[in-house]
Structure 1
Amino acid sequence: MQWIAALPMYNIAPALADDWRALLGAVLGRISPWLDARGDTVRIVDPGADLTAFWLRDDVLLSQTCGYPLLHALSGRVQLVATPAFDAPGCERGGYRSVLVAGAQAGASSLEACRGLRAVYNDEDSNSGMNLFRHAVAPLTSGGRFFSSATKSGGHLASLRAIAVERSADVAAIDCVTLAFVRAHRPELAAGIREIGVTASAPALPFIASKRVPKGLVDALAAALSDVIAQDEALAGRLRLRGVLRFTEADYACIDRYEREAIELGYPRLA
């Protein structure tokens, strides 16, 4: 079998992209006896813009996705390998939150004060940028509306740029790990925002594998991730990784609960 692998979720700067590739390379190196024994090969690839299509490929040995597609587009179609434990403000016990941020121009110091402002979110299938944001806003809504507009940006960096640089939006929810990386690597995007709150917590973005990957190899991948993070402290520090946890898909069920709670409050979509 010829496998492919990619870790696409936090490549917000060239140095970080290099570090995630280094992590992936070290993990694949540790499982090379498994691959050699099977006559398999693996290569690190660029997953392209359509991440869902990439994650659903049956030759994906290792990648990382968001918890929302894990429970929706990918449900029953991929295997959960491990969940990263990040070292960033808002991360506890393998979980993470989104940080609610507003532009300096908005003058808002709380989410309640954002009524009638312009929201921006990264994508409909994002837990951090949409689902947790919707859940936070839902108790404040009336008639299913809260913002004057809610615009899709295509990514957290684009949302921050819309708020801090272009000033075409006022408020967003940004994955706290992304925000920590932005503060270190893209300070120009952090300079024009203020933190006004945090969302509920959910399990961090999971590492996944194709359903075709044997269970023993999935376990070996999880062990290799843990070993690399423990043994390369410098790399783990730059990637803000403490280790990995072996969560199950059931541990991610709160993501669907947050969606149901928003819908039950009459707020099925950001608006």
Structure 2
Amino acid sequence: MNKIAALPMYNVSPALAADWHALLADVLRRVEPSADIIEPDDLHTFWRRPDLLLSQTCGYPYVLGLNEYVQLIATPEFDASGCDGANYSSVIVTRSNAPFDSIEACRGARAAFNSVDSNSGYNALRHTVAPYARDGRFFNDTLETGSHLGSLRAVAENRADVAAIDCVTMAFAREAYPELTGRLREIRYTCSSPGLPLIASKQVSPEQADALRAALDEALNAQPERARRLKLKGFSHLTAEHYDSIRQMENEARVANYARLA
């Protein structure tokens, strides 16, 4: 049975999806040419497959149990506002003409988020809001949109007032959808945490994991213009302990009696 791979997390536009696909294909050619690139319907099931050779996940699912099934291969370093090495943050946005100019001013507003298992869209926003919550509440309403682009559109279309957006996604969206992002403005950035890691099944051998890391560097350097479009500067090799800060963000919100975005 062939191994499988996919890079599903930053396909913000069709052009970016094509570049991520090409980068992945270059990596697989160097490591295991018979591997299949697929488009997974259920990411949580896909990430847990024992034949997973390479993919990318969010750090929040990783610390919530996915780490039992996968090993860390690398964490991308992006050239985007809000990134620092392998760390990233979320930018909290509102409409350009909205009255919100601080987190405190957002009390009673409507928040959009991509999914409850997102570090950038949910965990980071909850952590930022927690010190200002009262009796476990801060927002008047919340809306789950299914994606960061969906959250941006919800705010721009006045179906929500604020959203926290992965700063890398935001950088891509500014270039791909300037009419959409031009209707929004930034309130502030959240605290930073390790970026979205590239992962492989724990069934992948240490030798093949090292080969994947080498192939990622080679594929990046082989196409500098593609790397520029993907805003990729390089890759870090982080440990599981680095991602403990994401769990700590969750814990700090719970201690503040703000266990869920509300």
**TM-score normalised by structure 1 residue count:** 0.94
User: Aligned residue for 2:182?
Assistant: 191
1: CA distance, partners of 2:40 / 2:70: 16
Percent of aligned positions that are identical = 53
Is residue 19 from structure 1 mapped to residue 7 from structure 2 by the alignment?
A: no
Gaps of 5+ in 1: 36-40
Residue 226 (structure 1) aligned to one of 191, 194, 217 = 217
**TM-score normalised by structure 2 residue count:** 0.97
Residue 66 (structure 2) aligned to one of 70, 74, 91 = 74
2: CA distance, partners of 1:73 / 1:179: 27
1: CA distance, partners of 2:52 / 2:97: 44
Q: Which amino acid aligns with 1:172?
A: A
For residue 148 of structure 1, report the CA deviation from its aligned partner: 0.3
User: Aligned residue for 1:149?
Assistant: 141
1: CA distance, partners of 2:174 / 2:11: 14
Q: Which amino acid aligns with 1:26?
A: D
Paired residue secondary structure (1:75) = helix
Is residue 43 from structure 1 mapped to residue 32 from structure 2 by the alignment?
A: no
Is residue 213 from structure 1 mapped to residue 165 from structure 2 by the alignment?
A: no
2: CA distance, partners of 1:25 / 1:60: 15
1: CA distance, partners of 2:210 / 2:110: 45
Q: 1-10 vs 105-114, which deviates more?
A: 105-114
User: Aligned residue for 2:257?
Assistant: 266
Is residue 119 from structure 1 mapped to residue 111 from structure 2 by the alignment?
A: yes
User: Aligned residue for 1:38?
Assistant: none
For residue 12 of structure 1, report the CA deviation from its aligned partner: 1.2
User: Aligned residue for 2:4?
Assistant: 4
For residue 105 of structure 1, report the CA deviation from its aligned partner: 4.3
Q: Which amino acid aligns with 1:213?
A: V
Q: How does 1:43-62 map to 2 (within 5 A)?
A: 43-48=36-41, 50-62=42-54
For residue 189 of structure 1, report the CA deviation from its aligned partner: 2.1
2: CA distance, partners of 1:224 / 1:87: 20
Task: Give the number of equivalent residue pairs.
Answer: 262
Gaps of 5+ in 2: none
Paired residue secondary structure (2:67) = coil
2: CA distance, partners of 1:88 / 1:58: 33
2: CA distance, partners of 1:110 / 1:224: 43
For residue 151 of structure 1, report the CA deviation from its aligned partner: 1.5
Paired residue secondary structure (2:135) = coil
Residue 200 (structure 1) aligned to one of 191, 195, 216 = 191
Question: 4+ residue runs of structure 1 moved beyond 4 angstroms?
Answer: none
2: CA distance, partners of 1:240 / 1:104: 26
